[in-house]
Each structure stands twice: as C-alpha cells, then as structure tokens.
C-alpha cells in the first residue's frame, strides 16, 4: 500500500513539473529577450566575446523585437549574436549573457 502511494506521489510530481516550467518560459517571453533585473537587461547584438565578461562590436538592435521577429534573428541578419548586457559603452558589451529565447 505504501509503495503504491509513493509511486502515485512521484507520478504527480512528474506531471506537474513540466507545466510549471512551461508557465515560466511563457512569462519570460512576455518580458522580452532580456531580464528585468539590475544586470543583463540591455539587449545588444555583439561580435566576439571574452569569457562572457566583455563583448566587442556591440550594437543596439535597429529593429523592434517580438515573438515573430526575435532578437536572435535581428542580430543574426547582421552576423552578430543576441546578448543581454549589463552595460554598453562605446561599442563594447560588459557582463553579457545569451538572450532568452522568444
């Protein structure tokens, strides 16, 4: 009896876990490609990077991004990578990470 209760508990958790993840992904997609926090909140299209600390040749996207026109596609058209940076100074991206998928 206890064994079947434990199996039922694990089955319930396995079914519920993916639903929660899907909700979090949908919520991120509404916010855009970058987080709303203090760091990594500036969308940029960047070239080569050094250890995700400093990226060269960063540009502000010239097109509006959306689900139909994601940042990765906008940056890819000009041969750059979609990044979310903390600071953008004189064509450099400082403390950048990959943009969230839209």
**Residues 6+ away with beta carbon under 8 Å from 41:** 34, 35, 84, 86
* 94 falls within a domain: yes
| Average pLDDT rounded to a whole number, residues 36-47 | 87
Who has greater pLDDT, 86 or 22?
86
* 88 falls within a domain: yes
* CATH classification at residue 51: 3.20.120.10
* Predicted confidence (pLDDT) at residue 58 exceeds the cutoff of 60: yes
Q: Is the pTM of this model over 0.85?
A: no
* Predicted confidence (pLDDT) at residue 72 exceeds the cutoff of 50: yes
Domain that holds residue 54: 42-98
| Average pLDDT rounded to a whole number, residues 30-51 | 83
* 54 falls within a domain: yes
**Residues 6+ away with beta carbon under 8 Å from 72:** 33, 82, 99, 101, 102
* 32 falls within a domain: no
Cα 64 from Cα 53, distance rounded (Å): 26
The total number of structural domains that make up the chain: 1
């Amino acid at each position: 009896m206890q064994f079947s209760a434990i199996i039922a508990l694990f089955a319930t958790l396995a079914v519920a876990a993916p639903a929660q993840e899907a909700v979090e992904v949908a919520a991120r997609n509404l916010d855009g490609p970058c987080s709303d926090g203090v760091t990594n909140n500036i969308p940029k299209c960047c070239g080569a990077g050094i250890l995700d600390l400093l990226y060269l040749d960063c540009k502000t996207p010239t097109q509006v991004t959306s689900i139909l026109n994601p940042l990765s596609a906008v940056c890819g058209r000009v041969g750059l990578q979609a990044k979310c940076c903390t600071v953008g100074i004189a064509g450099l991206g400082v403390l950048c990470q990959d943009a969230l998928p839209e």
